[in-house]
Amino acid sequence: MQKQILLASSTLVMLLYVACQKTPNEDTSYITPPVIIPEYKIDKTTPVWADEFDYKGLPDSKKWSYDIGGNGWGNQEKQYYTNDLKNARVEDGKLIIEALKEKLSNNDYTSARLVSKGKGDFLYGRIEIKAKLPKGRGTWPAAWMLATEQNYGTSYWPDNGEIDIIEHVGFDQNRIHGNIHTKAFNHSIGTNKGNSIVAESNVSDNFHVYACEWLPDKITIELDGKPYFTFIKPSSDWKEWPFDKKFHILLNIAIGGGWGGQQGIDDSIFPQRMEIDYVRVYQAVK
């Protein structure tokens, strides 16, 4: 009996020894340590960049430039963007971007597109925009972000990414859209990532706060403090996540186009304006 116990014990020790050894041909090259992303938080004490529009006249040239032209902007849009006071101005503490029914060049409408490129460029943080939107079939206002430099791929868009904080089309009055676009995820190839939400009060009669929280591992889009779309970083491949470089802000009203003009343009609605009470950017800190 004692001999059997000793034999069993010896066998158990041998099995344990073998179990703890690496199989000679075992491939462990695929086992990599997890990527640790430092935890960030938003410092909302003081904006690192802001325009409160507490002045009058043209938008602050130290903070905003203009995209100008009427070439369709890649979306078959019908407006000509100008730097004219009638299309973009500050009055009564608000930025007014106004779309008009008027002929300019080969376009039947004028509007404005303001950009902070080179004057307000950010990597991570919280972007807040308090705005009242235009209404009517054919309007397509937006507040969004593009990469400041072309760091990835052979095409500026979509390779270097886009973040849409506000998109609204006038034929679907109170629905707000938030989206991201990348080389791997964009509407042109049917892989778009985004969501929409219906506002609790009319977006053209009332101001709402539209926000984006952009961190190293996710992007969240909000309406009035309510998150409705979150994009989690799927990988470190730039085709899926180019959002690790500086971006800048764009504000505009487009007319018509592939989305905004899906149900035509109602010319009786003009002029139409987007009013912006403030734009604020808060830093993300470790």
Catalytic annotation, residues: 162, 167
Residue 125 region, left (φ>0) first, then alpha (ψ -120 to 50), else beta? left
Q: Please state, as a whole number, how many other Cβ atoms lie within 10 Å of the Cβ of residue 199.
A: 19
Mention every residue, 6+ apart, whose C-beta is less than 8 A from residue 135. Answer: 170, 173, 203, 204, 269, 272
In the chain, how long is the greatest CA-to-CA distance?
106
The DSSP code for 12 is H
Distances (CA, A) of 122 to 34, 243, 282: 27, 11, 10
Q: Which residue shows structure tokens 């002029």?
A: 271
Tell me the residue length of the chain. Answer: 286
Q: CA-CA-CA-CA torsion for 267, 249, 164, 173, nearest 10 degrees?
A: -30
Tokens of 21: 């050894």
